[in-house]
């Protein structure tokens, strides 16, 4: 395959990222792999999409660090994105929301343009335009999600808590545990302050508290609607909060634990499968507590470092094999280059 990994900025990529692992695995397998930052793309006068890209080249003794540093230090090369077989959208739009708002949705725009020209783009940019919002979860059957409210009205939040009891407040567009609060009930003395803090980030999503949340959540990876599995291991791990902090995000100090994927989790995946596939969600991570999904990570789903650390299993070749098969099924693989 000729594949590009779209990222926020090549210079700010981190070696432990799932994206680094995917790019390194692609290079090792002999694919022509490139890093492309969202600010490095142009449309030429002949209506072609091009980019100043950096080659992802791997050596047998590479670590993730040496592999990424070589790519970042390499001389940029101008490539035609139209000639690619696949583009993997691996940027995080939340990182650009405040400091680079012009880049916030460019992966969607450029992704749609490339898909219309026969390039295999994952996740599907049309579906991703909805799936990158926490509202996407509300499109799935009620049995797999907690009751929720999306609003900017503080009184509605107060009424919701009075109706459902303990709840979680978080930004509709947010990541890494920023401004996530547990409301213990209608008598929560700090509800007004919590609401005000979350409203600073825009819309608030309030979710009914799921029993067991104090023990953390389960991150499960889904590939083409099925639980991702390699070498007999399911790609899943548990994140456990640290101390009194209710957030299990690794960025907030959550601890990692091995996780068994049982009938409950398989039932969740089965319920979500058809819609994920129909929406073109090639690779996603879902966060679950008990039999409820609390979040879908459709944009640049990460956490493979945890899977590798806990199980010593590399899931990247399985994903790349599925991507190559998708390219072949769309007859886009190894298309002849235009003169």
Same domain flag for 189 and 223: no
Taking CA atoms, 18 is separated from 5, 170, 179, 227, 314, in Å, by: 11, 25, 24, 17, 11
Q: Is the pLDDT of residue 20 over 80?
A: yes
pLDDT band at residue 336, thresholds of 50, 70 and 90?
very low
- What is the pLDDT confidence band of residue 252, given thresholds at 50, 70 and 90? very low
User: Tokens 């792999």 — which residue?
Assistant: 33
30 and 110 within one domain: yes
Q: Are residues 245 and 306 in the same domain?
A: yes
CB atoms within 10 A of CB 276: 25
| pLDDT at 339 (0 to 100) | 37
Determine the structural domain holding residue 197 and report its residue range: 147-208
CB 1 within 8 A of CB 85: yes
- Cα distance between residue 222 and residue 284, in whole Å: 5
H-state helical runs in the chain: 18-28, 64-73, 93-96, 106-116, 125-131, 154-164, 191-199, 263-278, 304-311, 316-329
Residue 321 domain flag: no
What's the CATH code of the domain at 15? 3.40.50.20
Residue the block writes with tokens 């960025």:
251
- Asked if 246 and 172 sit in the same domain, the reply is no
Q: How many domains does the chain have?
A: 3
Q: Please give the pLDDT value at position 250.
A: 47
Please write the tens of the pLDDT for every residue from 193-209: 999 999 998 999 999 99
Confirm whether 327 is domain-assigned. Answer: no
Average pLDDT over residues 235-241: 91
End-to-end CA distance of the chain: 19
Rg of the Cα trace of the chain? 20
Residue 129, in any domain of the structure: no
98 contacts 64 by C-beta, under 8 angstroms: no
- Rounded to whole angstroms, how far apart are CA atoms 200 and 120? 37
For the full predicted model, state whether its pTM sits above 0.95. Answer: no
Residue 281 and residue 297 in contact, taking contact as beta carbons nearer than 8 Å:
no
Mean pLDDT of 65-81: 97
Same domain membership, residue 159 and residue 111: no
Residue 102 sits in the same domain as residue 188: no
Q: What angle do CA 165, 170, 173 make, to 5 degrees?
A: 145
Identify the top-confidence range among 25-29, 91-95, 96-100, 201-205: 25-29
Pairing of strands 226-227, 217-223: antiparallel
Q: Is residue 46 part of a domain?
A: yes
Q: What pLDDT shows up at residue 333?
A: 53
Retrieve residue 261's tokens: 């994927």
């Amino acid at each position: 395959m000729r594949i590009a990994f779209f990222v926020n900025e090549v210079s700010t990529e981190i070696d432990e990222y799932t994206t680094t692992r995917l790019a390194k695995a692609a290079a090792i397998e002999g694919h022509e792999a490139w890093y492309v930052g969202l600010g490095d793309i142009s449309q030429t006068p002949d209506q072609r999409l091009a980019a100043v890209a950096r080659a992802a080249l791997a050596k047998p003794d590479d670590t993730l660090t040496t592999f990424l540093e070589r790519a970042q230090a390499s001389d940029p090369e101008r490539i035609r994105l139209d000639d690619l077989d696949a583009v993997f959208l691996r940027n995080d739009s939340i990182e650009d929301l405040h400091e680079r708002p012009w880049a916030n949705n460019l992966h969607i725009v450029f992704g749609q343009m490339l898909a219309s020209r026969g390039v295999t783009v994952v996740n599907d940019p049309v579906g991703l335009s909805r799936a990158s919002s926490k509202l996407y979860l509300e499109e799935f059957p009620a049995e797999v999600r907690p009751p929720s409210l999306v609003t900017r009205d503080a009184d509605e939040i107060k009424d919701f808590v009075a109706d459902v009891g303990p709840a979680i407040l978080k930004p509709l567009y947010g990541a890494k545990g920023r401004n996530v609060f547990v409301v213990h009930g209608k008598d929560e003395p700090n509800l007004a302050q919590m609401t005000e803090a979350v409203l600073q980030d825009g819309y608030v999503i309030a979710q009914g508290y799921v029993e067991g949340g104090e023990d953390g959540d389960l991150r499960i990876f889904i590939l083409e609607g099925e639980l991702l599995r390699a070498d007999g291991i399911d790609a899943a791990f548990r994140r456990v909060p640290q101390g009194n902090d209710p957030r299990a995000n690794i960025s907030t100090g959550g601890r990692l634990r091995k996780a068994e994927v049982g009938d409950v989790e398989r039932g969740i995946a089965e319920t979500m499968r058809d819609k994920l596939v129909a929406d073109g969600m090639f690779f996603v991570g879902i966060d679950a507590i008990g039999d409820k999904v609390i979040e879908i990570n459709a944009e640049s789903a990460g956490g493979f470092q945890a899977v590798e650390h806990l199980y010593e299993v590399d899931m990247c070749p399985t994903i790349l094999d599925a991507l190559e098969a998708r390219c072949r099924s769309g007859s886009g693989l190894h298309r002849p280059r235009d003169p």
